[in-house]
Amino acid sequence: MINDEARSEVYDPNAIIDKWMTVWDELRTFEARDLTSGYEEQPRSYVVSMFPYPSGDLHMGHAEVYSISDALARYLRMRGANLLNGIGWDSFGLPAENAALKRNLDPREWTYTNIETQAESFRRLGVSFDWRTRFHTSDPEYYRWNQWLFLRLFAAGLAYRKEAAVNWCPTDQTVLANEQVVAGACERCGTRVIQRPLTQWFFRTTAYAQRLLDDMAQLEGKWPHEVLAMQRNWIGRSSGAHVDFAVEGRDRPVRVFTTRPDTLFGATFLVVAVDSPLADELCSPEQREAFEAYRKETVTSTAIERLANDRPKTGVPLGVSAVNPVSGARIPVYAADYVLAEYGTGAIMAVPAHDQRDLEFARALGAPVRVVVDTGAPDPTETGVATTGAGRLVNSGDFTGMDNSEGGAAIIEWLSGSGLGERAVTYRLRDWLLSRQRYWGTPIPIVHCDACGLVPVPDDQLPVRLPETGYTLRQEGGRSPLESAEEWVATSCPSCGGSARRDTDTMDTFVDSSWYFLRYPNPGYTDGPFDPAGVARWLPVNEYIGGREHSTGHLMYARFLVKALYDLGMLSFNEPFERLTNQGQVIMNGKAMSKSLGNLVNLQEQISRYGPDAVRVTMVFAGPVEEDIDWADVSPTGAVKWLSRVWRLTGDLPDQTAGEADPGLRRAVHLLIAGATAAMDDRRFNVAIARLMELTSALRKATDRGPGAANPAVREGTEALVRMLSCFAPFTAEEGWQRLGHTPSVSDAGWPEADPALLVEETITCVVQVNGKVRERLDVPTGIGESELREFVLTSDRIRALIGTATVDRVIVRAPKLVNIVSAR
């Protein structure tokens, strides 16, 4: 009997950190076996967790994502994979610049200090990164390749510059991509975003819209369903038709996009986006004043608000009329804000009977309503509710009587034949606006020359380095801070040698993060953005782990860029991440943690109180990976208790085992190994931990009241426990492994294998009689049913030999102990 209290040693999780950090470094335990050369055969496994942004020290959210990704990485490694677990920093971006401006510092200082802090915290958290992969996107050695990639896309026509109405954040004084505008506000600071016309750089993501959709087939079942659904919505494929409407006094028709060509006879007016050049062009002199006034009102509303169904509809007549191509009716043309300039063609045919927004607009402005699909629902003119269902066409000329889907196809055909329209597909996805009017980012490697236009900086002049004086630069009124670095801006044209100016915008940091995982295999590579041999060896990423907030931004950008590089012949695969896992958020009392709510939990405080292992275990054990963890509902004290039990157990076992292994315990151990393994394979890490906890209890019971600490089954079970534990609580496991008399590292000991022979159910001896005489004893599972047992006995070789050719008259089965076969002699 072992008395825990009598032992002088206490489990002190913080006392063992430095020791094991040093051992792992010395043994190079977590280095991939062949990072940059000497490539081995399979299996290899490449795990990437979305790389951190260096905003201060690590926080609870980091602890969660890296506890999960590390459990997975360690598991795959223990299962025999040559594993690469990379780490770098996404170190350009606004917070550094804002902090620097506030304190009059160089953003570099803030950034690199935070990186050092985070790196140390990662090590103290026991994350098994291969530190040789480390790089920072704000290093010129990295952003140089951002510039190089930009120039490849520019040469391929995939990077271009145009004037567009863009999202502008008045507080951060920068443009934002659509993906960075959340509910009409700046994702970072919450300020209302306004629309401003500016000349900006774009990547042509729309050229890949269909492939971004189609290639999701590869990800089905391997990425979370919701992420795929969000991407599908974001790409927003619509199919329908383009229809041309002749407009009085204009030689070219107005083209609209519609998903309901079947309703064409019900188009009683046209609506053009108020902020489109087309509206400006169509407006008659009489309506000019009203139009300008209306246009002014709309600049502050966002696309989402403009499209909202419940918003009162506003607009102005443009004072021109168009002709409905099928009915020949003269219909008025309006400008309104519920039509977006950037979607479809920026103009619509309004069918108030069958489209709610059009109906509300018609009611507000007194336009006619004409029902053309009889859906069986009440008349929209009376109810104010547009009828959107299927039905038969009415008031539709020769098409009257057709069912509406067939009618739609027939109308498209007629339009095509008459040169008035055609089948069309439209996407909601927009080109990626990548230029930013900020300092702390990758300078765009383009020179503006009056004579030559946009001239790429030659590759051998890369990187275009940021000027060092970032902190003295100010930005005003939407000008990039780089504009005030006059000496830096002034340059000569690489093409004609004349005086020219550098582009003063920097790249969205999502450019940096769209390819970083290609560089981990050889982070110091100098002949290109990534080492083709290393990429061939390690890519695509097998397991990608990160937050679901990146569903439509980062993940879409990375997919786009990989496809573009595939087309440029630089990659041999077209999807970057084979499998994606989203972890939930760490929240507090039902709310996201934030300084302003005062519910921030400090990670370092948790670690110093409970130790890194207990914090990690708590994160992973709290629930399924994709669910949020409310820190108010969990406490690492439970994990501390469990880990100290494991730790004591490892100290309680004698060096020499004695006696026969206890069969019941062995079976329990192997069943729990099998259970934990299956849970790990399904990424149900919390379930795996539950199995380990059960195993701990079984072993504790066996040492205290069962066969005793010296029993070989206890040692076998404890060693298996410690090996598996190393995925979640690496320091405690390492310490336990040593206490069990082994040399480090436990990570090299491999994941325990469940013995299949021990997994079969317990058996009992069944007596088999033939005509009342005992002829055979067979081992059968205790839980076997009557019919199963009958089958089992009659098909067993020995019984069949006994019976020979005699016919079986009757079989009496008393499961599980007796079977009597009555057979004719």
Residue 449 CB, shortest distance to Zn ion, in Å, is 3
Contact between 726 and ligand ANZ by CB under 6 A: the answer reads no
653 binds, among ligand ANZ, Zn ion, none (CB under 5 to 8 A by kind): none
Contact between 351 and ligand ANZ by CB under 6 A: the answer reads yes
Q: By C-alpha distance, which of 551, 515, 540, 562 is closest to 135?
A: 515
∠ Cα 719 725 730 (to 5°):
110
Question: Could you write out the DSSP letters of every residue in 341-397?
Answer: TTSTTSEEEE-TTT-HHHHHHHHHHT------EE-SSPPHHHHS----S--EE-S-G
Residue range at the interface with ligand ANZ (CB under 6 A); choices 182-190, 254-262, 363-371, 518-526 = 254-262
Cβ nearer to ligand ANZ, comparing 259 with 469: 259
The 3-class secondary structure across 79-103, one letter per residue, is CCCEEEECCCECCCCHHHHHHHHHH
Helices (H), 200-260: 209-214, 225-235
Cβ nearer to Zn ion, comparing 497 with 654: 497
In the list 117, 218, 259, 381, the residue contacting ligand ANZ (rule: CB under 6 A) is 259
Q: Which residues within the stretch 266-295 sit at the binding site for ligand ANZ (CB under 6 A)?
A: 273
Can you say how many angstroms the Cα of residue 173 is from the centroid of all Cα atoms in its chain?
A: 28
Q: By C-alpha distance, which of 573, 579, 594 is closest to 543?
A: 579
Residue 307 CB, shortest distance to ligand ANZ, in Å, is 6
247 binds, among Zn ion, ligand ANZ, none (CB under 5 to 8 A by kind): none
Helices (H), 204-287: 209-214, 225-235, 277-282
Residue range at the interface with ligand ANZ (CB under 6 A); choices 224-232, 340-348, 440-448, 517-525 = 340-348
∠ Cα 75 79 82 (to 5°):
90
Contact between 343 and ligand ANZ by CB under 6 A: the answer reads yes
Residue 389 CB, shortest distance to ligand ANZ, in Å, is 10
Question: Could you write out the DSSP letters of every residue in 692-735?
Answer: HHHHHHHHHHHHHTSS-TT-HHHHHHHHHHHHHHTTT-HHHHHH
In the list 54, 332, 346, 730, the residue contacting ligand ANZ (rule: CB under 6 A) is 346
Q: Which amino acid is at 604?
A: Q
Contact 270, 458 (CB under 8 A): no
Cβ nearer to Zn ion, comparing 87 with 447: 447
Alpha-carbon dihedral sign for residues 691, 693, 695, 701: negative
Contact between 769 and ligand ANZ by CB under 6 A: the answer reads no
Question: Could you write out the DSSP letters of every residue in 569-608?
Answer: TS-S-S-SEEEEEEE--EEETTEE--TTTT-PPPHHHHHH
In the list 60, 349, 680, 713, the residue contacting ligand ANZ (rule: CB under 6 A) is 349
Upstream peptide bond of 43 is cis (omega within 30 degrees of 0): yes
Cβ nearer to Zn ion, comparing 498 with 772: 498
Residue 391 CB, shortest distance to ligand ANZ, in Å, is 12
Residue range at the interface with ligand ANZ (CB under 6 A); choices 259-267, 522-530, 626-634, 814-822 = 259-267
Q: How far apart are CA 696 and CA 715, in angstroms?
A: 12
Contact 43, 82 (CB under 8 A): yes
Contact between 334 and ligand ANZ by CB under 6 A: the answer reads no
348 binds, among Zn ion, ligand ANZ, none (CB under 5 to 8 A by kind): ligand ANZ
Token pair in block for residue 268: 């009683």
Cβ nearer to ligand ANZ, comparing 139 with 342: 342
Contact 322, 272 (CB under 8 A): no
683 binds, among ligand ANZ, Zn ion, none (CB under 5 to 8 A by kind): none
CA–CA distance from 728 to each of 304, 585, 626 (Å)? Answer: 43, 19, 17
Contact between 348 and ligand ANZ by CB under 6 A: the answer reads yes
Q: Which residues within the stretch 223-242 sit at the binding site for ligand ANZ (CB under 6 A)?
A: 238
Residue range at the interface with ligand ANZ (CB under 6 A); choices 337-345, 641-649, 657-665, 726-734 = 337-345
Which positions touch Zn ion (CB under 5 A)? 449, 451-452, 493, 495-496
Cβ nearer to Zn ion, comparing 127 with 500: 500
449 binds, among Zn ion, ligand ANZ, none (CB under 5 to 8 A by kind): Zn ion
Contact between 257 and ligand ANZ by CB under 6 A: the answer reads yes
In the list 77, 260, 436, 715, the residue contacting ligand ANZ (rule: CB under 6 A) is 260
User: Cβ contacts of residue 292 below 8 Å, gap of 6+?
Assistant: none
Residue range at the interface with ligand ANZ (CB under 6 A); choices 140-148, 348-356, 446-454, 501-509 = 348-356
In the list 340, 695, 727, 789, the residue contacting ligand ANZ (rule: CB under 6 A) is 340
Cβ nearer to ligand ANZ, comparing 24 with 343: 343
CA–CA distance from 330 to each of 35, 188, 249, 327, 372 (Å)? Answer: 71, 48, 13, 9, 17
Q: Widest CA span of the chain, in angstroms?
A: 113
Contact 728, 617 (CB under 8 A): yes
Cβ nearer to ligand ANZ, comparing 343 with 538: 343
Can you say how many angstroms the Cα of residue 284 is from the centroid of all Cα atoms in its chain?
A: 49
Cβ nearer to Zn ion, comparing 497 with 663: 497
Contact between 344 and ligand ANZ by CB under 6 A: the answer reads yes
Residue 151 CB, shortest distance to Zn ion, in Å, is 17
Cβ nearer to ligand ANZ, comparing 273 with 729: 273
In the list 136, 354, 670, 691, the residue contacting ligand ANZ (rule: CB under 6 A) is 354
Token pair in block for residue 236: 């927003």
Residue 91 CB, shortest distance to Zn ion, in Å, is 34
Contact between 263 and ligand ANZ by CB under 6 A: the answer reads yes
Residue 634, phi then psi, degrees to nearest 5: -120, 160
Residue 141, phi then psi, degrees to nearest 5: -65, -25
**Which positions from 401 to 440 touch ligand ANZ by CB under 6 A, shown as an x/- string?**
-------------------------x--------------
Residue range at the interface with ligand ANZ (CB under 6 A); choices 54-62, 256-264, 279-287, 727-735 = 256-264
Name the 3-class secondary structure at 167: strand
Residues near ligand ANZ, by CB under 6 A? 238, 257-260, 263, 273, 339-340, 343-344, 346, 348-349, 351, 354-355, 426
